[in-house]
Amino acid sequence: MQGIAVVRPRLPNEVWVLVVASFIIAIGFGIVAPVLPMYAASFDVGTTAVSAVVSAFALVRLLFAPVGGRLVSRFGETQTYIWGIVIVALATGACGFATHFWQLIVFRSIAGVGSTMFTVAAVGLLIRLTPAPLRGRASGLWATGFLLGNIAGPIVGAGLVGFSIQTPFVAYAVALFIAALFVWLFLRRSTLAAIDQNRSQPTMAVREAFAYASYRASLASGFANGWAVFGLRISLVPLFVVEALHGSPAVAGVSLSVFAAGNAAVLMLSGRLSDSIGRKPMAIAGLAVSAVGTFGMGFSGTVTLFMVASLVAGIGAGLLNPPQNAVVADVIGSNAKGGPVLAAFQMVTDFGAIVGPLLAGVLVDRFSYQAAFTVTGVIMLIGLAFWLVAEETLPKADDPHVGVAVAGECGVVGEGPELPTGERVGGRPSQPDA
C-alpha cells in the first residue's frame, strides 16, 4: 500500500541560526563576567559598590521584563531580538570607556534592558520557528550554545586582560554586533520567520497561561533553578570550597566547571527525551537529581565528594532546562503571541537568582552552609511537587504554519505514517485545569 505524503518535522535552519548566535553572545558574556568585579574595583569603591554593578544588571532585567514582553508582542521577536543585542553591545562597549563609577552603573543597567529584550525574544523565536514536537530538542540546543559559549568566554577573556582591563568590554561589544548581523543576514529573507511575523494573532495574557498547572510548575521550577544555578552556585559555592572544605580558589573554579560539564552532557539528551517520552517526567527527574546533588554539596566533607555532588547537580539542571522551557512554549502554542507569558517566566527565574544568594547568605551567617544548601534543595523539591500535579503538554501533532506552509522550503515532505491530529490545538494543552 502506498504511503501517505506527510510532513516529517525537523529543526528548520533558522533554529540553528539562533543556536550559533547564542554561542557568540555567551562567549562575549563569558569574556566580561570574570573581569567585571575587578574593573568596578578599579574606580576605588568598596565591596558593596562592586556588588551593586553585578546586581544592577540583574535588577534591571527583572524590572524591565514586562516591557520586554510587550515589545515582543508589538514589534515581533526578530526585531526585538536584534535591537536588544545592539543595545547590549553599545552599553557594554561604553562600559569600557567609563570615567566615573556612576557611568559604569548606568551603562550596565542599560545593558540589562537589552539583555531582557533579546532573551525574551529569543525564546519567542524558538517557539515560532520550531515544530511543536521538537521544542524540547530546540531548547536543549539553544541552552547548549549558551553553555559552551560561557565555558569558552573566560578562556578568551583571560588572554584579553593582558592588553588592558577595558579590552574585554570592547571585545564583548564586537561579538554582539557580529551576532546581531549574523541573525539579520540569515533571518531577513526567511520565509518561515516572515510567515510568523505577518500573522495576526492575539496576545496570550499571563492569567490565561497561569490557568495551566504545567505553566505554574514551570514558574516554580524556574524560580528554584534561578535560586540554585544562577544564584547560590555563583555566590556561595566558591566560599564554601575555600572556607568549609579548605580548598583553593582554583579548586572552587574547577567545581563550577564540573557542574557545567554535567549540565552540557545531558542537555541534548534531555531535549530529545522530552520530545519523546514527555516534558513532565524529564522535569521531575531533573528536579529530583538537582535536589540530591544540592543536598550532597552541602554535606560534603571532602573536595572529592563535593565534586561528585557538583556533577550530579549539573546533570539535574541539564535534565530540567529543555522540558521546562518546552512546556512554556507548549502552553503559548503557535496561535497566540506569548510576550507577556515569556516575560513572566523570565522574571520569576531572575527573581530567584536575586533572592537566592541574599537569603542563602543570611542562612550561612545565622546558621551554617549546610542550612543554606538544605533550604535550596527543599525549594527544588517544592518545585517538583508542582510538577507532580501538572498536565503533560507534549504535542501530538505538528503546528500547521511550521509543517505545511514551509514544507517545500525545508524539504521535509515524504512518505510515512500520518501524524495524529486533534489531540491538541496549536501545540497547547487542550484544557486548563483551573
Q: What is the pLDDT of residue 319?
A: 92
Residues of the chain with pLDDT under 70: 1-9, 34, 47-48, 51, 158, 190-202, 231, 234-235, 249, 253, 334-338, 396-434
User: At which residue does the C-alpha cell 541573525 appear?
Assistant: 183
Provide φ and ψ at 4, rounded to 5°.
-90, 135
Q: What is the pLDDT of residue 400?
A: 47
How far apart, in whole angstroms, are the C-alpha atoms of residue 249 and residue 242? Answer: 6
How far apart, in whole angstroms, are the C-alpha atoms of residue 312 and residue 301? Answer: 16
- Contact at 8 Å (CB) between 321 and 191? no
First-last CA distance in the chain? 46
How far apart, in whole angstroms, are the C-alpha atoms of residue 243 and residue 318? Answer: 28
Q: What is the pLDDT of residue 135?
A: 76
- Contact at 8 Å (CB) between 196 and 401? yes
Where b means 16+ CB within 10 Å and e means fewer, 267-301 reads bbbbbbbbbeebbbbbbbbbbbbbbbbbbbbbebe
How far apart, in whole angstroms, are the C-alpha atoms of residue 395 and residue 335? Answer: 14
- Contact at 8 Å (CB) between 211 and 432? yes
Cα separations in angstroms, 406 against 14, 114, 115, 413, 431: 12, 31, 31, 10, 29
CB-facing half-sphere around the CA of 121: CA atoms within 13 A: 31
- Contact at 8 Å (CB) between 164 and 34? no
- Contact at 8 Å (CB) between 108 and 53? yes
| Among 169, 148, 151, CA closest to 160 | 169
Q: What is the pLDDT of residue 337?
A: 64
| Among 338, 320, 340, 339, CA closest to 330 | 338
pTM, entire model: 0.74
CB-facing half-sphere around the CA of 266: CA atoms within 13 A: 26
Provide φ and ψ at 5, rounded to 5°.
-70, 120
CATH 1.20.1250.20 for domain 7-388? yes
| Among 261, 259, 252, CA closest to 290 | 259
Residue count of the chain: 434
How far apart, in whole angstroms, are the C-alpha atoms of residue 344 and residue 218? Answer: 11
| CB atoms inside a 10 Å sphere around CB 162 | 8
Question: 346 is written with which cell numbers?
Answer: 523570565
| Among 178, 170, 195, 198, CA closest to 17 | 178
How far apart, in whole angstroms, are the C-alpha atoms of residue 24 and residue 29? Answer: 9
How is the chain split among helix, strand and coil, in percent rounded to 5?
75, 5, 20
